[in-house]
Amino acid sequence: MAHPVQRRWYPLVFAIAALVLLPLSVLLLSWETIDTQIWSHLLETQMARLLSNTLILLLGVGVGVTLLGVSLAWLTSLCEFPGRRWLDWALMLPFAIPAYVLAFVFVGLLDFSGPVQTLMREWFGSGLRLPRVRSTGGVIIVLVLVFYPYVYLLARTAFLAQGKGLMEAARVLGSTPWQAFWRVALPMA
């Protein structure tokens, strides 16, 4: 049984829950009136392209986030180098930037009329161009830069939990750093 002081919050909590659930309920109720002609038109004309774009984004972002997050986690947790503590902190900064803001900055900097390409044209001539920013590859790069910290944190925690002893033991037993990473550190993480 709830304490009387706790029960005092119930109306406010239910009001907030109702406000949150209202848009969701409107969305769910709108599914009653599905127009089959619209869906058949989408299936015939657009759905294959949309699904292929989604799969390309899924695979590109998944591979990119895994490569970037795990490699940076391994680097900052098992290697000693100057600036490691600063880099460990700096790698968390994408958490502070919303994805849409990062996308606007990315497009603004790297678009044809942006400062990066303008500077490159001034230095190297007009023949040098970067790939198009407003493309599938550009979206993949932005999403990788936004989402890698999640993988980084998980992998870093796993690498720190296993310690450096296993890597050192593998190296003493004759493994190269690359073999020790693939055969010891990564499977243990």
Q: Give pLDDT tens digits for 102-144.
A: 888 988 998 888 898 889 888 888 777 777 888 899 889 889 9
Percent of the chain with pLDDT over 70: 96
- Sorting pLDDT into bands at 50, 70 and 90, what band is 15? very high
8 Å CB contact between 69 and 151: yes
DSSP states along the chain: ---HHHHTTHHHHHHHHHHHHHHHHHHHHHGGG--HHHHHHHHHHTHHHHHHHHHHHHHHHHHHHHHHHHHHHHHHHH---TTHHHHHHHTTGGGGS-HHHHHHHHHHHHSTTSHHHHHHHHHH-TT--PPPSSSHHHHHHHHHHHHHHHHHHHHHHHHHHH-SHHHHHHHHTT--HHHHIIIIIHHH-
In this predicted model, what pLDDT tens digit does every residue of 81-109 receive, in sequence order? 899 999 999 999 988 888 889 888 988 99
pLDDT for 67: 95
Q: Kindly tell me if the per-residue pLDDT of 171 is higher than 80.
A: no
Q: Are the CB atoms for 72 and 152 separated by under 8 Å?
A: yes
Model confidence at 69, pLDDT cuts 50, 70, 90, reads: very high
Q: What is the CATH number of domain 59-101+132-189?
A: 1.10.3720.10
Looking at residues 31-60, what average pLDDT do you find? 89
Indicate whether 165 pLDDT > 90.
no
Average pLDDT over residues 34-56: 90
pLDDT at 61: 97
C-alpha to C-alpha distance for 74 and 124, rounded to whole angstroms: 36
Distance of CA 175 to the CA centre of its chain: 32
- For residue 186, what pLDDT is reported? 74
Higher model confidence: residue 132 or residue 53?
53
Higher-confidence position of 130 and 1:
130
Structure confidence at residue 19 as a pLDDT band (50, 70, 90): very high
The token duo for 134 is: 């407003």
pLDDT above 80 for 163: no
So what's the pLDDT on residue 1?
58
Domain ranges of the chain: 1-30, 59-101+132-189
